[in-house]
Amino acid sequence: MPKTKKVYICSNCGYESLKWAGKCPECGRWNSFEETEISASPKGKGRHENSAAPHLLSEIGEDAQERLNSGIGELDRVLGGGIFPASVVLIAGDPGIGKSTLLLQLSAALTKNNVSVLYVSGEESLQQVRNRAQRLGFGQVPLLLLAETELENILYQIEATKPELVVIDSIQSIFSREIGGAPGNVGQVRECASRLFRAAKESNRCLFLVGHITKDGGIAGPKLLEHTVDVVIYFEGDNLYQYRILRALKNRFGAANEMGLFQMEREGLKEVNNPSVLFLSDNRQSKTGSSVVCSFGGSRPILAEVQALVSRSNYGVPQRTVSGFDHRRLALLLAILEKHCGLTFGYLDVFIKIAGGLRIDDPGIDLGIAAAVYSSTRDEALPESSIFIGEIGLNGDIRPVTQLERRIGEAAKLGFKNIYIPQAGGLKISVQTPAGFRLREMKHISEIVRPLQN
| Cβ within 8 Å of residue 268, ≥6 positions away | 101, 105, 135, 136, 137
Is residue 140 a contact partner of residue 147, using CB atoms and an 8 Å limit? no
Say whether 51 sits in a helix, a strand or coil: coil
CA distance 301 to 323: 20
Q: What is the mean pLDDT of the chain?
A: 85
CA dihedral defined by 24, 25, 29, 34, rounded to 10 degrees?
-10
Nearest by Cα to 4 from 50, 40, 48, 30: 40
What is the pTM for the complete model shown? 0.78
Say whether 193 sits in a helix, a strand or coil: helix
Sheet strands side by side (includes 4-10)? 16-17, 4-10, 33-39
| Cβ within 8 Å of residue 97, ≥6 positions away | 235, 236, 237, 244
CA distance 94 to 236: 8
Is residue 328 a contact partner of residue 397, using CB atoms and an 8 Å limit? no
Phi, psi of 419 (to 5 degrees): -110, 110
Tell which phi-psi region holds residue 310, choosing left (phi > 0), alpha (psi between -120 and 50) or beta. beta
Q: Does domain 68-273 have CATH number 3.20.20.240?
A: no
CA distance 122 to 167: 10
Number of Cβ within 10 Å of residue 432's Cβ equals 9
Number of Cβ within 10 Å of residue 435's Cβ equals 6
**DSSP bridge pairs for 368:** none
Is residue 441 a contact partner of residue 422, using CB atoms and an 8 Å limit? yes
CA distance 117 to 193: 19
Q: What angle do CA 381, 386, 390 make, to 5 degrees?
A: 105
Spans in the chain with pLDDT lower than 50: 1, 217, 219-222
Instruction: For residue range 181-225, list pLDDT tens digits in order.
Output: 778 778 888 889 999 999 999 999 999 999 887 655 454 444 678
Q: Does domain 277-453 have CATH number 3.30.230.10?
A: yes
**Radius of gyration, alpha carbons of the chain:** 26
- Diameter over CA atoms, the chain: 82
CA distance 424 to 439: 10
